[in-house]
């Protein structure tokens, strides 16, 4: 593999700008860096202010403009420690778990979509939808859901084996991929109550499992789309060599393809983690006390009597610090991650 | 390196699958004493036999706890208002009775449907909800709340008769039965700077004149121009109550039973007439006499502005009184006065839709020729009990609510601004010492409580809307139209028509007769 | 479902020196069978998970959009009302809120509309000229042409001086302006960062930060920042004489504030992906071009841009789908704006949903789904393919 590593070291000399170019480049970069960092600085400063300092108009520098106070930090970490640490722990567990699962299932699916050709028959899909609708109607008519689901599956299999041969018209890989990403089109507010009812029937409300399953299903399409582009660039010759040597597809995927795509995996991991970490609406509905996550605590700082900026700033800061830490640590992978066409022939 | 990483990834995936599988048992379960194994000899059919039994040791307390082992789940919105006193009293109650109180919180804007979805789908994770009694129309008609009428009459701790008659007979009841226990008293008043204004405004025209006088002057000595009036006019916040506060003085004059939202014969909305039009004009004028982003402010912002001395006038619930005495937030300690909502010298003639001047017939409750109609906005946070909970839990829940509402606890809580509890018991008005102890000066306490008393005792108090789906009427239709009117998207006539059409469409959808019956039932204050 | 391998299958192992035992033969057979089924094994778990959480909620929420919820004794009841919820949005009480207030467009508006219609006709003609015409393709393209023209008609009529845009047009505004600015900004920053500048890594990390903050947090942050009386920019407003006006009480000012927040938050997404794409370009063509004497601009336009087009198109599609769901910024910053000025479609659905009118809310959500699907499919089929082919 070493010859591949060597090719990655690029000769950047043609991209080194002249001194004038350097100055011209630094100006917008520094400008945007200020635009990014100033709001974060304001967050830190606000978390150190007393309510009266916030209401009386802008004060910028602690010790110079105003007297900083740790009351907000004390309140969040001490007075509310259970209400802060429990959601924090829940967020960490749920995000990491769902991201790991989404990555494994999603990259497997993405790999499959680039290496295999699928031709799902349109008729089969329509039959499946029909059976699903029948099952849902049955459940609505008070049939116990276990019976309805089993009956629907049985019906589907029967129909498929009997009239299945008739279906000719088929879709392709791109359609499957598009179907996956189209799951993200509907805003969560529309599906939140059905999902709530679904998990209630399964007795999984207010558990980690409910959130994890939902986040995996919601973020898997993202993994598939991001990794697909990447897997397409891993040369197929490597896998063919491995196959000739007698390795199974699974072995090839695990030992050859995945390690080569590690940067892409890491980058996708970070993206999906951020999505799961920050999700609000589904967490609001699927949890009540035990499994509550941190975005709920932040939104909840807006009491009916008005937002309490100082507490909110503290919460936002403790929420982004671990993610920022992870981003800094993984940054070198991110840039080289999502390498598209990295190893061009 | 790759091997290790692959291994780590694999371990992570395996771990995550295990975690998901065990996901059912998340937080630490309620601690129970470990069962002990005991050998017992008993005689079965004449022959002795030794049997081992498992016995759970009783909790290590001296006296038997009334509700030992019972957990009560409470749902309310994130505080600290309302949630903080509940969280504080929980352990106290547990020490007394052994019942464990679990306070769950959600953001305020999501409280309504979180609770309703929980009850409607049969999940029943909550035993108590501390909520807005306006929502009773939906919860009671669907049968989710426990009838508490007999319990409140027989219970000793709650001192039901001490609760102000308005909250006792109206806020807590629906169709004659009691469903909630009041924990807080809510209605609107105006606040004014006593160092700037000697006489509080009696009519809304006076209010506008005073606001005009102070708009743009520096009121707190920091060199920046300040504002005449600060009212929370942001959309989807509290604005729809404030417009009702302005309008009710023009619309209701014959006492509480007359109602201020619909006619009591045909359920016609009282929003497309000269009275509401005049109120809209006044509200729009006031919106120009305040901070430039007043259309984006909610009560948190306006309270902050008022207590940092930037407003001459404000309209709000009872919170500003205690907040103004808090040294960490207020620069106007002892400079704040409270008064009954301003009234009007003209009222609506419902037959013609026009305004007529006040006299003995049209305004029987007028004070000095001015008709006041204090608006009990929101109704006061109250606790209700889930009918589907177990009986034992319901008993514990009732006792907890009675404990929190009892004068011993409540009278202290209402003096602390952070709790969000405002006075609602007669003993809380009469007993001025507690207020002085909490930091209010005697004069300020007198003034503040006097205004509350005057509002509560007014026979022309306006009851907030409590018919089924009032959320839709107020939060969706009224609030959106007012926001559009203030922003200039709609003119006055279009605004009134939009509200009327929206309300009528919903009334017809739900059934005009049922809505009318519900409306009349809520107005039937029997005292 | 048939699966065709794109690589050769494995050849059986064993050098033939020892006769394979029965056990090893059956294990081999099992392994071979599993290997043939690899296509299914890789894809099926993922598909099942997504299917599990999409079938039931989608169908049920579609049903919900056709009913009305009412609370009655003993619980609640759902009354089937057909398309009444949709009718309310398109022609009924809510149509001004949803579609906007229609008014006669200005001359500029007519010009824009005319240009759009003409361009659609030209594209159609071009398609027919290629000769590779199919029924599906024709129908698809005609639908797209009609849809785009209808959208243009709506936009032009509601953005005219006397009109007022409804939530549909406001959302389209957020999406398109947002994506264009985010992409250009991201590309510019990425080009700058792809150069060999000292301190590049610092910028790369810093520029990544805004995306990490939870959307609700970003919304509250910007609410603090845009406050003209307490916010940090007060001295600037004061100096400009704006201390007594508030830009969030002006419809366009409020929309601008929301868009600025959105751009601040999501430019990192574009930036990071584009940086990676730029850094992974192959060097040889660029070196050859430099030797041939091409200018920086020519190198960018002829070599770099085509190489990053496929990535860009995926990026834009993903961001397009997410951008339509914008809700936290308008909700927290302005509660939907002065009046309804900044209300997006998801916020519209959310405010209706808060009062448990789930039927109305589901109807708005499905209208949103319709619009996003239309734009997504049109984009994926027409534009994206062209970009990928060009690369």
Does C48 lie in the same domain as C194?
no
Does A189 or B339 have the greater pLDDT score?
B339
Say if CB B497 and CB B135 are below 8 A apart.
no
CB B303 to CB A305 under 8 A?
yes
CB A338 to CB C321 under 8 A?
no
Does some domain include residue C376?
Answer: yes
Q: Locate all alpha helices (DSSP H) within C280-337, ordered by sequence.
A: 284-291, 296-299, 305-323, 328-334
CB A284 to CB B20 under 8 A?
no
Does some domain include residue B481?
Answer: yes
Does B287 lie in the same domain as B166?
no
Does B332 lie in the same domain as B473?
yes
pLDDT of residue B399: 92
Does B26 or C299 have the greater pLDDT score?
C299
Query: A54, A259, A289, A312: which to substitute to probe chain B, counting the most B Cβ within 10 Å?
Result: A289
Q: What is the pLDDT of residues B238-253, one digit of tens each?
A: 899 999 999 999 999 9
pLDDT of residue A215: 93
Residue with tokens 């995927």: A253
Longest alpha-carbon distance in chain C: 95
Reply yes or no: is the peptide bond before residue B80 cis, omega within 30 of 0. Answer: yes
Does some domain include residue B60?
Answer: no
Q: Which residues on A lie below 8 Å from C283 (Cβ)?
A: 10-11, 14
The domain boundary, picked from C64, C93, C118, lies at C64
Which of B225, B167, B206, B235 has its CA nearest to residue B383? B167
- Determine the average pLDDT of the residues in B419-444: 83
CB B224 to CB A57 under 8 A?
yes
Which of C48, C169, C368 has its CA nearest to residue A185? C368
Does B203 lie in the same domain as B179?
no
Does B395 lie in the same domain as B342?
no
Any idea what the CATH number is for the domain that residue C208 is in? 1.10.3720.10
Give Cα B15 to chain centroid, integer Å.
45
Any idea what the CATH number is for the domain that residue B325 is in? 3.40.190.10
> How far apart are alpha carbons A71 and A94 in whole angstroms?
30
> How far apart are alpha carbons C176 and C187 in whole angstroms?
16
Global pTM reads 0.83
What's the alpha-carbon Rg for chain B, to the nearest Å? 27
Q: How many CB atoms lie within 10 A of CB C140?
A: 16
Does some domain include residue B165?
Answer: yes
Closest-CA distance, A50 to chain B, in angstroms, reads 7
Does some domain include residue B458?
Answer: no
Whether complex ipTM tops 0.85:
no
pLDDT of residue C379: 87
> How far apart are alpha carbons A247 and C113 in whole angstroms?
60
pLDDT band at B32 (very low <50, low <70, confident <90, very high): very low
Mean pLDDT of chain B: 83
Mean pLDDT of chain A: 79
> How far apart are alpha carbons C39 and C46 in whole angstroms?
12
> How far apart are alpha carbons A193 and C323 in whole angstroms?
23
Residue in B with minimal Cα distance to C97:
B480
Instruction: Tell the burial category of B51 from Cβ atoms under 10 Å away from its Cβ (0-12, 13-18, 19+).
Output: exposed
Does C91 lie in the same domain as C53?
no
Q: What angle do CA A148, A153, A159 make, to 5 degrees?
A: 125
pLDDT of residue C388: 62
Residue in B with minimal Cα distance to C333:
B296
Closest-CA distance, A84 to chain B, in angstroms, reads 13
CB A216 to CB C54 under 8 A?
no
Does B176 lie in the same domain as B205?
no
Does some domain include residue C138?
Answer: no
Does C253 lie in the same domain as C196?
yes
Checking if the pLDDT of B50 tops 60, the result is no
Residue B314's DSSP bridge partners are B191, B230
Does C177 lie in the same domain as C40?
no
Residue C76's DSSP bridge partners are C71
pLDDT of residue C10: 46
Ranges A63-72, B246-255, B370-379, B464-473: which has the least confidence: A63-72
Q: Which residues on C lie below 8 Å from A319 (Cβ)?
A: 213-214, 217
pLDDT of residue A11: 41
pLDDT of residue B7: 54
Give Cα C373 to chain centroid, integer Å.
10
Does B41 or B450 have the greater pLDDT score?
B450
Does some domain include residue C126?
Answer: no
pLDDT band at B288 (very low <50, low <70, confident <90, very high): very high
The domain in which residue B159 lies consists of 71-185+379-431
Q: Which residues on C lie below 8 Å from A190 (Cβ)?
A: 61, 349, 361-362, 365-366, 369
Does B383 lie in the same domain as B264?
no
pLDDT band at B20 (very low <50, low <70, confident <90, very high): low
Total domains, chain B: 2
> How far lies C270's CA from each of A23, A223, A274, C273, C384, in Å?
24, 16, 15, 6, 17
Does A10 or B171 have the greater pLDDT score?
B171
Does B482 lie in the same domain as B406?
no
CB B487 to CB C93 under 8 A?
no
pLDDT of residue A342: 37
pLDDT of residue B44: 43
pLDDT of residue A335: 54
Does C177 lie in the same domain as C315?
yes
Q: Which residues on C lie below 8 Å from A182 (Cβ)?
A: 321, 373, 376
CB C353 to CB B113 under 8 A?
yes
Does B144 lie in the same domain as B116?
yes
> How far apart are alpha carbons B351 and C320 in whole angstroms?
55
Does some domain include residue C141?
Answer: no
Say if CB A287 and CB A299 are below 8 A apart.
no
Checking if the pLDDT of B310 tops 80, the result is yes
Say if CB B510 and CB B468 are below 8 A apart.
yes
Query: What is the DSSP code (8-state) at residue A265?
Result: H
pLDDT band at A341 (very low <50, low <70, confident <90, very high): very low
Does C319 lie in the same domain as C186?
yes
Query: B77, B218, B236, B482: which to substitute to probe chain C, counting the most C Cβ within 10 Å?
Result: B236
Q: Which residues on A lie below 8 Å from B107 (Cβ)?
A: 284, 296, 299-300, 302
pLDDT of residue C2: 43
Checking if the pLDDT of A203 tops 60, the result is yes
pLDDT of residue A307: 64
Q: What is the pLDDT of residues A226-268, one digit of tens each?
A: 888 778 777 788 888 888 888 888 888 888 888 877 777 877 8
Does some domain include residue C331?
Answer: yes
Q: What part of C 339-368 touches B (C-beta under 8 Å)?
A: 339-341, 351-357
- Determine the average pLDDT of the residues in B374-393: 90
CB-nearest partner of C336 from B139, B235, B293: B235
List of E strands, B287-430: 311-316, 336-339, 346-349, 354-357, 375-376, 382-385
Does some domain include residue C140?
Answer: no
pLDDT band at C39 (very low <50, low <70, confident <90, very high): confident
Does some domain include residue B417?
Answer: yes
pLDDT of residue A14: 53
The backbone region for B82, taken as left when phi is positive above 0, alpha when psi lies in -120 to 50, beta otherwise, is left
> How far apart are alpha carbons A254 and A260 in whole angstroms?
10
Does A73 or A105 have the greater pLDDT score?
A105
pLDDT of residue B147: 92
Checking if the pLDDT of C142 tops 50, the result is yes
Q: How many CB atoms lie within 10 A of CB C90?
A: 13
Total domains, chain C: 2
Q: Which residues on A lie below 8 Å from C368 (Cβ)?
A: 185-187
Does some domain include residue B88?
Answer: yes
Which of C23, C284, B135, B510 has its CA nearest to residue A344? C284
Checking if the pLDDT of C173 tops 60, the result is yes
Does B273 lie in the same domain as B358?
yes
Does B281 lie in the same domain as B138?
no
Does B501 lie in the same domain as B367?
yes
Does some domain include residue B171?
Answer: yes
Checking if the pLDDT of C4 tops 70, the result is no
Say if CB B276 and CB B251 are below 8 A apart.
yes
Structure tokens at C84: 């009444």
Mean pLDDT of chain C: 83
pLDDT of residue C389: 64
Does B278 lie in the same domain as B349?
yes
Does C340 lie in the same domain as C214?
yes
Say if CB A328 and CB C202 are below 8 A apart.
no
Does some domain include residue C215?
Answer: yes
Checking if the pLDDT of B230 tops 90, the result is yes
> Percent of chain A having pLDDT more than 90?
13
pLDDT band at B59 (very low <50, low <70, confident <90, very high): very low
pLDDT of residue C368: 92
User: B with C: how many residue pairs have Cβ under 8 Å apart?
Assistant: 119
Residue with tokens 């009838």: B147
Domains and CATH numbers, chain A: 80-117+202-345 (1.10.3720.10)
Structure tokens at B141: 């008609």
Provide the terminal-to-terminal Cα distance of chain B, rounded to the nearest Å.
81
Say if CB B116 and CB B139 are below 8 A apart.
yes
Neighbours of chain C (3+ CB pairs under 8 A): A, B
Does some domain include residue C119?
Answer: no
User: Which residues, including other chains, have CB under 8 Å from residue B132's CB and lie 6 or more apart?
Assistant: B112, B378, B379, B381
Checking if the pLDDT of B214 tops 90, the result is yes
- Give the three-state DSSP class for C101: strand
CB C97 to CB B480 under 8 A?
yes
CB-nearest partner of B107 from A258, A259, A302: A302
- Give the three-state DSSP class for B488: coil
Q: What is the pLDDT of residues A85-103, one digit of tens each?
A: 888 889 999 999 999 999 9
Residue in A with minimal Cα distance to C354:
A189
Does some domain include residue B347?
Answer: yes
Query: What is the DSSP code (8-state) at residue A63?
Result: T
The domain in which residue C348 lies consists of 84-102+163-390
């Amino acid at each position: 593999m070493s010859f591949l590593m060597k090719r990655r070291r690029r000769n950047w000399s043609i991209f080194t700008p002249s001194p004038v170019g350097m100055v011209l480049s630094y100006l917008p970069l520094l400008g945007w860096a200020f635009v990014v960092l100033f709001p974060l600085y304001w967050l830190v400063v606000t978390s150190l202010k007393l309510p009266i300092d916030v209401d009386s108009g802008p004060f910028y520098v602690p010790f110079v403009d105003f007297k900083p106070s740790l009351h907000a930090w004390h309140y969040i970490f001490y007075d509310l420690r259970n209400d802060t640490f429990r959601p924090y722990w829940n967020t960490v567990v749920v995000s990491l778990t769902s991201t790991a699962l989404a990555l494994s299932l999603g990259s497997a699916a993405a790999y499959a979509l680039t290496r295999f050709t699928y031709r799902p028959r349109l008729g089969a899909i329509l039959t499946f939808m029909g059976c699903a609708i029948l099952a849902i109607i049955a459940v609505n008519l008070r049939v116990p859901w276990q019976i309805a689901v089993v009956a629907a599956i049985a019906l589907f299999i029967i129909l498929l084996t009997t009239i299945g041969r008739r279906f000719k018209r088929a879709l392709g890989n791109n359609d499957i991929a598009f179907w996956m990403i189209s799951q993200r089109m509907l805003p969560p507010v529309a599906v939140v109550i059905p999902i709530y009812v679904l998990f209630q029937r399964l007795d999984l409300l207010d558990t980690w499992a409910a959130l994890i399953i939902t986040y995996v299903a919601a973020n898997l399409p993202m993994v598939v789309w991001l990794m697909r582009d990447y897997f397409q660039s891993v040369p197929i010759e490597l896998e063919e060599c491995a196959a000739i040597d007698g390795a199974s597809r699974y072995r090839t995927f695990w030992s050859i393809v995945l390690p080569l795509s590690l940067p892409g995996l890491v980058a996708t991991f970070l993206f999906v983690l951020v999505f799961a970490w920050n999700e609000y609406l589904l967490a609001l509905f699927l949890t009540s006390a035990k499994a509550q996550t941190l975005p709920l605590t932040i939104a909840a700082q807006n009491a009916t009597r008005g937002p309490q900026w100082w507490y909110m700033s503290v919460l936002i800061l403790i929420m982004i610090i671990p993610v920022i830490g992870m981003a800094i640590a993984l940054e070198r992978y991110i840039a080289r991650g999502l390498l598209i066409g990295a190893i061009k022939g | 390196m790759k091997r290790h990483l692959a291994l780590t990834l694999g371990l992570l995936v395996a771990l995550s699958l295990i975690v998901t599988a065990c996901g059912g048992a998340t937080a630490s379960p309620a601690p129970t004493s470990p069962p002990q194994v005991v050998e017992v000899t008993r005689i079965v059919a004449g022959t002795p036999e030794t049997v081992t039994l498992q016995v759970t040791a009783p909790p290590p307390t001296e006296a038997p706890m009334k509700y030992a082992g019972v957990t009560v789940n409470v749902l309310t919105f994130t505080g600290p208002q309302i949630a903080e006193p509940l969280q504080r009293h929980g352990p106290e109650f547990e020490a007394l009775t052994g019942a464990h109180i679990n306070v769950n919180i959600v953001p305020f804007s999501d409280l309504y449907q979180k609770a309703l979805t929980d009850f409607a789908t049969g999940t029943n994770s909550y035993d108590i909800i501390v909520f807005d009694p306006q929502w009773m129309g939906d919860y009671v008609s669907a049968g989710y709340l426990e009838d508490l009428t007999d319990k409140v009459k027989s219970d000793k701790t709650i001192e039901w008769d001490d609760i102000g008659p308005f909250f006792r007979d109206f806020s807590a009841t629906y169709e004659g039965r009691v469903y909630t226990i009041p924990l807080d008293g809510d209605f609107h008043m105006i606040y004014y700077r006593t160092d700037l204004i000697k006489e509080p405004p009696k009519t809304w025209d006076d209010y506008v004149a005073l606001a005009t006088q102070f708009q743009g002057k520096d009121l707190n000595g920091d060199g920046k121009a300040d504002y005449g009036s600060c009212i929370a006019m942001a959309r989807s916040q509290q604005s729809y109550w404030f417009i009702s506060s302005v309008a009710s003085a023009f619309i209701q004059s014959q006492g509480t039973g007359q109602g201020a939202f619909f006619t009591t014969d045909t359920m016609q909305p009282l929003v497309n007439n000269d009275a509401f039009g005049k109120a809209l004009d006044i509200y729009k004028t006031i919106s120009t006499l305040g901070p430039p982003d007043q259309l984006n402010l909610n009560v948190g912002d306006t309270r902050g502005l008022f207590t940092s001395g930037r407003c001459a006038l404000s309209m709000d619930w009872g919170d500003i009184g205690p907040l103004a005495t808090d040294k960490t937030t207020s620069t106007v300690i002892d400079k704040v006065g409270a008064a009954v909502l301003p009234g009007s010298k003209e009222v609506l003639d419902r037959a013609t839709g026009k305004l007529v001047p006040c006299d003995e017939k049209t305004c029987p409750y007028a004070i000095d020729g001015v008709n006041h109609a204090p608006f009990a906005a929101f109704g006061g946070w109250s606790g209700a009990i889930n009918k589907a909970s177990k009986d034992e839990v319901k008993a514990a829940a009732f006792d907890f609510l009675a404990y929190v509402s009892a004068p011993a606890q409540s009278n202290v809580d209402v003096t602390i601004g952070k709790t969000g509890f405002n006075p609602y018991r007669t003993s809380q008005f009469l007993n001025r010492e507690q207020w002085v102890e909490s930091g209010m000066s005697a004069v300020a306490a007198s003034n503040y409580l006097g205004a509350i008393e005057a509002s509560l005792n007014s026979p022309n108090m306006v009851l907030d809307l409590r018919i089924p789906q009032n959320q839709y009427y107020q939060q969706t239709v009224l609030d959106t139209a007012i926001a559009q009117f203030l922003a200039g998207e709609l003119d006055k006539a279009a605004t009134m028509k939009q509200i009327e059409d929206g309300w009528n469409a919903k009334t017809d959808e739900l059934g005009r007769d049922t809505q009318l019956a519900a409306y009349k039932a809520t107005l039937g204050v029997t005292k | 479902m048939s699966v065709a391998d794109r690589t050769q299958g494995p050849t059986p192992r064993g050098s033939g020196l020892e006769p394979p035992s029965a056990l090893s033969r059956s294990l081999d057979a099992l392994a071979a069978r599993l290997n043939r089924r690899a296509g299914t094994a890789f894809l099926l778990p993922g598909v099942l998970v997504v299917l599990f959480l999409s079938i039931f909620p989608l169908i049920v929420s579609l049903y919900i959009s056709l009913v009305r919820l009412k609370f009655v004794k003993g619980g609640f009841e759902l009354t089937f009302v057909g398309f009444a919820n949709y009718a309310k949005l398109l022609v009924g009480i809510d149509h001004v809120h949803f579609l906007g207030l229609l008014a006669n467009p200005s001359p500029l508006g007519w010009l824009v509309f005319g240009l759009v219609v003409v361009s659609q006709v030209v594209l159609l003609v071009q398609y027919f000229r290629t000769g590779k015409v199919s029924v599906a393709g024709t129908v698809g393209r005609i639908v797209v042409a009609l849809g785009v023209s209808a959208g243009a008609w709506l936009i032009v009529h509601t953005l005219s001086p006397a009109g007022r845009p409804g939530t549909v047009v406001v959302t389209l505004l957020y999406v398109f302006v947002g994506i264009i600015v985010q992409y250009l900004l991201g590309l510019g920053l990425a080009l700058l960062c792809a150069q060999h500048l000292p301190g590049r890594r610092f910028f790369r990390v810093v520029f990544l930060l805004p995306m990490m903050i939870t959307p609700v947090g970003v919304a509250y942050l910007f609410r603090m920042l845009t406050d003209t009386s307490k916010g940090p920019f007060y001295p600037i407003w004061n100096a400009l004489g704006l201390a007594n006006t508030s830009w969030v009480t002006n419809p366009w000012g409020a929309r601008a504030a929301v868009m600025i927040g959105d751009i601040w938050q999501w430019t990192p997404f574009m930036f990071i992906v584009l940086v990676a794409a730029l850094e992974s370009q192959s060097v040889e063509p660029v070196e050859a071009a430099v030797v041939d004497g091409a200018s920086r601009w020519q190198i960018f336009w002829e070599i770099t841009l085509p190489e990053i087009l496929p990535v860009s198109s995926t990026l834009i599609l993903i961001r397009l789908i997410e951008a339509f769901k914008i809700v936290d910024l308008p909700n927290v910053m302005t509660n939907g704006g002065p009046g309804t000025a900044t209300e997006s479609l998801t916020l519209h659905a959310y405010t209706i949903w808060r009062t448990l009118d789930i039927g109305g809310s589901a109807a708005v959500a499905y209208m949103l789904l319709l619009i996003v699907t239309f734009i997504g499919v049109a984009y994926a089929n027409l534009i994206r393919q062209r970009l990928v082919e060009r690369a």
